[in-house]
Structure 1
Amino acid sequence: MATTLQPSLPSRPLLRLRLASPGSLPHPIDGAWWPSSYDLPTELPLLLAGLPRAWGRITSVTVNGAAWTLAPGRMLVLDQVVRLHRSTSLSAPHTICLLAPNRGRWDLLVVPPDTPQDTAEPLMAAAAGGTT
């Protein structure tokens, strides 16, 4: 009996994201994101695709200019233009700021990609308002 092997499909990268529970009080940090690299054109589409629909369409993203690799001033993400801003004056250098018109602003802690899992998970839980 002949066996035909199916080629394996490439797996989608895992989105490592923890968000604070929605509530009546605003959060200084709305959650944590642990990207696989500092390659914004690769990482940003995965992040935006995994955000809650209630956040609306993100049209502007600000990241720490010193941490991320060069990226264009605009990107097409999920069939929408997203403006990218680089800042070295962010109040917290390991954050990403997401803006959606008429919906709001969300700030996420960015856990450095090379962080070991046993260190990253407690950081993400704390940023999301939980405990480990």
Structure 2
Amino acid sequence: MTTPSFPSSPVLAAEAAPRLSLNTVLDRRGTVDGAWWPRTRDANAELPAPISAVDRRLGRAVLRVGLHLDAWDHIPRRIPARGRQVRVGWFRSADPHLITLSIAGTAPITLLVIPPGTADGPATAALAFAAAGTAGVRPADILHPAHPEEGSPGRDDSASWENEGGRITASVPARPVTI
């Protein structure tokens, strides 16, 4: 069995198809372990590429993908992957800008989802930032580094969360997710 080779850059170059970056050491100190820039919101069409890329990068199989139900279209129950079916779980309690990949024998990988249609420059910057280490940085700050949400006194966004864990929608103005 040969060990697959990977680019030394944190951006995985599987023919540039997955548009995926991973922290090279995966030290689990950041709020995310990397980022993914899908071309569309069609989960059925988009999920096979990052699953395959993460499988190759880690040499282990992705077993399950967790995502926000309202952030995606055409969410299947399972995604075909090499030699197996990867289960897809969808939730409304998860951050819509994150997906979680559960992997055999290791902690789950959390990826920031860069919205489809994002311009190349900001998307490339977010891919690099997410792979460089994100300790103490909120996913929203990776997507909007120059424009943190109003009403947030600090990076932890503590003023805009209820004590039960839900976001207080009245104190944070809704705005489209674009960069």
**TM-score tier (shorter):** 0.7 to 0.9
SS of structure 2 residue aligned to 1:128: helix
**Inter-partner Cα distance in structure 2 for 1:13 and 1:21:** 18
TM-score (norm 2): 0.60
Aligned to 1:6: none
Report if aligned partners of 1:98, 1:105 keep a CA contact under 8 Å in 2.
yes
Runs of 4+ in 1 over 6 A off after TM superposition: none
**Inter-partner Cα distance in structure 1 for 2:16 and 2:125:** 21
Gapped runs of 5+ residues in structure 2? 1-14, 134-179
Question: CA 1:77/1:18 → structure 2, altered by over 3 Å: closer, same or farther?
Answer: same
Count how many residue pairs are aligned between Structure 1 and Structure 2. Answer: 118
TM-score (norm 1): 0.79
Which amino acid is the alignment partner of residue 98 of structure 1? L
Q: Could you tell which deviates more after superposition, 38-47 or 103-112?
A: 38-47
**Inter-partner Cα distance in structure 1 for 2:26 and 2:50:** 22
1:65 is the counterpart of 2:55:
no
- 1:49 offset after TM fit, Å? 1.4
Question: CA 1:23/1:49 → structure 2, altered by over 3 Å: closer, same or farther?
Answer: closer
1:82 is the counterpart of 2:86:
yes
Aligned to 2:114: 111
Report if aligned partners of 1:95, 1:107 keep a CA contact under 8 Å in 2.
yes
Q: What RMSD, in angstroms, separates the aligned Cα atoms of the two structures? A: 1.9
Deviations 1:7-49 (A, max 9, x none): xxxxx77221111120656332100000111111111111111
Question: CA 1:110/1:55 → structure 2, altered by over 3 Å: closer, same or farther?
Answer: farther
Aligned to 1:19: 22
Q: Could you tell which deviates more after superposition, 68-77 or 79-88?
A: 68-77
Which amino acid is the alignment partner of residue 38 of structure 1? R
- 1:126 offset after TM fit, Å? 1.3
Looking at secondary structure, tell me which structure has more strand per residue: 1
1:100 is the counterpart of 2:103:
yes
